[in-house]
Amino acid sequence: MAHQADEQNPTIYLKDYRAPDFLIQSAELVFTLGEEGTQVQSTLQVARNSHTDADTALVLNAESMEVTAVAINGQALANTEWKHSDDQLVIQTSETAFLLSCTNLIHPETNTSLNGLYRSRTMFCSQCEPHGFRRITPYLDRPDVLSKFQVKVIANKDKYPVLLSNGNPMQRGELDNNRHFVEWQDPILKPAYLFALVAGDLEVVEDNFTTMSGREVLLQIFVEAKDLDKVDHAMLSLKQAMKWDEDTYGREYDLDIFMIVAVDDFNMGAMENKGLNIFNTSAVLANPKITTDARFQWIQAVVGHEYFHNWSGNRVTCRDWFQLSLKEGFTVFRDSHFSADLNSEAVKRIEDVRTLRAYQFAEDAGPLAHPVQPPSYQEINNFYTLTVYEKGAEIVRMQANLLGPEKFRQATDLYFDRFDGQAVAIEDFVGCISEVSGLNMDQFMNWYKQAGTPVVEATDSYNSDTQEYRLQLGQSCPPTPESSIKEPFVIPVKLGLIGSAGELAFQLEGDSNPVVEKVLSFNKTEQEFVFSGVSEKPTPSLLRGFSAPVKLRFHYSEEQLVHLIRTDTDGFNRWDASQQLAELAIDGSGSSDTLVSSYREILGQSGLDPAVAAMMVTLPSMEALSDSKQNLDVGALYDARTSVREEVADQLESLFRAVYLENQSNQDYQPSASQIGRRALKNVALAYWVTAGSAEALEACKHQYETADNMTDCASALSTLVNAKSNQVQALAENSLRDFYQRWKDEALVVNQWLSIQATSGAKGGLNRVLALMEHEAFDIKNPNKVRSLVGGFCGLNPENFHNIDGSGYKFLADKIIQIDALNPQTASRLVTPLTRWKNYDSERQALMRNELERIAQGELSSDVRELVGKSLL
């Protein structure tokens, strides 16, 4: 069985990388789009690479297509000179440089995988990263083959008035049968994964941007007519991103047009195709009526992310897919810095770390753990992970902090200039860091090469006679699939020492001056750091700003945590201390009274950013609490968390009421950091207040639901109602849910929120509700946004219902994975995650989850799902 799976799913190794045998210098493509089949004619200028001998055949990738003709230099080849097997087109020729022409037929109209050329509602659109282009036309579909593209799109004029591809429009004209064409030319070399094509009946919103060198760029966002009122925020975000990349990295946009197209059916958030980004509608469309604050911020981040890829990914691209984090880790670092600069640095940092701890740490501790630069893969689509993206960004962040802003900018300048137009490796990026700083980065590379989250154990001691403070650090990293032996990491530990009245000065052994903050370079298994001149016994503020993606273990007493919350100058660590204090209360080793009085203090602090206050009085999520736990009894954990929550709510009822009322606002809605912070605090307070159970609170919540002029307040009130425990509130929640659907049934993105509020509700009987919703007119199993909202929401964000001990949640998920895999492997494989975590749970749940994984494994599966299920069962 295992052997058979291996043959169907061969493993590809980084160490086997070889330069391509052939290069493609230019590609001319003609698309004749049709509702029953699309014809693609390609003319490729091919050259044999210098290392390739004359009897090596040309092997092109060619999947899910019918190849009807092949010619070299205008001469049709005989059937014996080419062979198309399942996924390859093999062409026998000894020419060194030649024009290859192919004609092939594809079927976008039946392509449910949303990979390659497909249809979304009434339009044609494409997704090529990483291997979609090989489903469009025969090609060397690998990122180290860069080529100039010229594309002619032919289609019916009425149904597809807008015809788009990468680069600049060159010619357009009329054809017979009510058809027209547009020809596009992209002057910049690019790999096939950045190709894009769109055809549809789309409206456009236009704007302009003048680059730092004074060039005018036309900005266009294409949407369906009904969505024209939802484009402003993305357009503003795009201009902000263009300006920010000039200011921060000195990088300017290179073409005369930048286009974004919004499509409803899309496997991920968005795609950075050269000059023609394609976006999931959920990552671009927004207005206050339908969009929550979190969504507004997410859209700004994604628009930034895709735009920033123009340099980190497109101009400098990846040699092979093992280097995925070269573009993704770096670009997430860039978009996160962008969001921090435009909103609040402290808030953004806390949000990023919350995601990392709740999801990336879990991935790194499970059967699918992999290094940021993986040594091997079966299906590359499975490696668009939190590890490659978020941990990859943390690794870039450590390098940026190591160098400081000026040197880091020198290093990125060197990187962009030296490798412009090339396909390179992570080592090339780190090489620039090393070259500019003079630092030896050899040991640092362990961050890229080793999976697993390092654990840092810290202990300390203080000698009041000598005023010496000693900090002992030890690091270890649990075994992960690629290796059980781990070399020590270079861990930057930023710290301060907090005394009774605030920060203390200290002098690290070997330093010549006292300071109040220091970054320790902790790079051995065990190390002791000695600080002198410390005037009193301090509470250490360790790993400030989350200076490295590790799990820090230090036994803080409750008093110390309370003191850090009160006194630490590092905003991130104050928040972190609040989370640790809450965790102690939840696991029973601390007291909820201490937590309550600390919350009282936080809420009473006038100078505190409301956004930060809101996060500080929010209990750690179930996901965060589950980290590093074994034999997890989800029900018990949920009950413990709920009871602390109820206790906080009861004891601080009047304070939450006051905070709720104080943070009302009658300003016009803006998705600004300051308004978002106030709304966040107000809605956190509301949820606690309603939990405490008064009629007045319930009335306020109902009133907010009914009268809110923005989706943040409306959805937040609704979800507070839906999550409430009492029967009386449940009835009210039912009414509101019905009302909400009636109000919003024509707005797909709001309907998705409606699905996900219900899917993630902790109220009992969640599965039955989800099963009913699967039959609702609002649901569509072919649309990834709906699947993510309902199936993903229930299985990934509703632990108390999903992990029902009767196993019904697991069986439901397995059924859906099997069903969706036949339609869309990429979306199916993303759903597998919760089942891969089976080892974390009690033995009864483990057996049930394994059973379902085994049941999935018995079917006929995509390579995507097969790899994940196979690795999870090892």
Please list every residue from 92 through 131 that binds ligand TRP, using CB under 6 A.
127, 129-130
User: Within 329-358, which residues bind Zn ion (CB under 5 A)?
Assistant: 331
Q: Which is nearer to Zn ion, 344 or 412 (CB)?
A: 412
Pick one of Zn ion, ligand TRP, none as the site partner of residue 129 (Cβ within 5 to 8 A by kind).
ligand TRP
Token output for 806? 């009767």
Interacting residues of 212 by C-beta distance below 8 A, sequence separation 6+: 246, 252
Sole window of 328-336, 462-470, 514-522, 550-558 interacting with Zn ion (rule: CB under 5 A): 328-336
Binding status of residue 827 toward ligand TRP by CB under 6 A: no
Q: Residue 333 or residue 812: which is nearer to Zn ion going by CB? A: 333
Q: Rounded distance, CA 717 to CA 247, Å?
A: 40
Name the residue whose CB lies closest to ligand TRP.
268
Beta-bridge mates of residue 508: 531
Select the span of 40-48, 187-195, 326-334, 415-423 touching Zn ion (CB under 5 A).
Answer: 326-334
Enumerate the active-site residues. 306
**CA nearest neighbour of 718 among 673, 676, 763, 678:** 763
Q: How many whole angstroms separate alpha carbon 717 and alpha carbon 698?
A: 10
Residue 310 binds what, of ligand TRP, Zn ion, none (CB under 5 to 8 Å, by partner type)?
Answer: none
Q: Which residues contact 794 (CB under 8 A, 6 or more apart)?
A: 759, 760, 766, 767, 770, 801, 802, 809, 812
- Residue 267 lies near ligand TRP (rule: CB under 6 A): yes
At 748, the amino acid letter reads A
Q: How far is the CB of 40 from ligand TRP (least distance, A)?
A: 20
Half-sphere exposure of 397 (CA within 13 A, CB side): 24
- Least distance from C-beta 194 to ligand TRP, angstroms? 9
Residue 330 vs 447, nearer CB to ligand TRP: 330
Give the separation between CA 711 and CA 708, rounded to whole angstroms.
Answer: 7
Closer CB to ligand TRP, 267 or 579, in the complex:
267
Residues 752-811 that bind ligand TRP (CB under 6 A): none
| Cα 598 from Cα 610, distance rounded (Å) | 16
The reply on whether position 824 binds ligand TRP by CB under 6 A is no
One character per residue 46-65, x = contact with Zn ion (rule: CB under 5 A):
--------------------
- How far apart are CB 759 and ligand TRP at their closest, in Å? 23
Nearer to ligand TRP, 268 or 649 (CB): 268
Q: Whose Cβ is closer to ligand TRP: residue 124's or residue 489's?
A: 124
Q: How far is the CB of 750 from ligand TRP (least distance, A)?
A: 23
Over the Cα atoms of the chain, what is R_g? 28
Determine which helix (DSSP H) or strand (DSSP E) holds 386, and give its type and residue range: helix 386-386
Q: Are 275 and 258 in contact (CB under 8 A)?
A: yes
Taking the complex as a whole, the smallest distance from the CB of residue 262 to Zn ion amounts, in Å, to 17
Cβ-based nearer residue to ligand TRP, 126 or 453: 126
Q: Report how far residue 338's alpha carbon sits from residue 48's, in angstroms, rounded to the nearest whole number.
A: 43
Cα dihedral 110, 113, 116, 120 in deg (nearest 10): 60
Smallest CA-to-CA distance from 649 within 712, 724, 587 is with 724
- Asked whether the beta carbons of 681 and 602 are under 8 A apart, the reply is no
Task: Give the footprint of ligand TRP on residues 375-414 (CB under 6 A).
Answer: 381, 384
- Could you tell me which stretch among 283-291, 322-330, 682-690, 799-807 binds Zn ion (CB under 5 A)? 322-330
Bridge partners, 171 (sequence order): 183
The secondary structure of 793-847 as a DSSP string is HHHHH-HHHHT-TTSHHHHHHHHHHHHHHTT-HHHHHHHTHHHHTGGGB-HHHHH
Q: Tell me the closest approach of the beta carbon of residue 272 to ligand TRP, in angstroms.
A: 5
Determine the interface stretch with ligand TRP among 225-233, 266-274, 365-373, 448-456 (rule: CB under 6 A): 266-274
453 binds ligand TRP (CB under 6 A): no
Which residue has tokens 């092939």? 104
712 near ligand TRP, rule: CB under 6 A: no
> 297-326: which residues touch ligand TRP (CB under 6 A)?
305-306
For 675, the enclosing helix (H) or strand (E) is helix 673-692
- According to the binding rule CB under 6 A, does residue 271 interact with ligand TRP? yes
Residue 384 or 419 with smaller CB distance to Zn ion: 384
Binding site for ligand TRP (CB under 6 A): 127, 129-130, 267-268, 271-272, 305-306, 381, 384, 826
Binding site for Zn ion (CB under 5 A): 328, 331
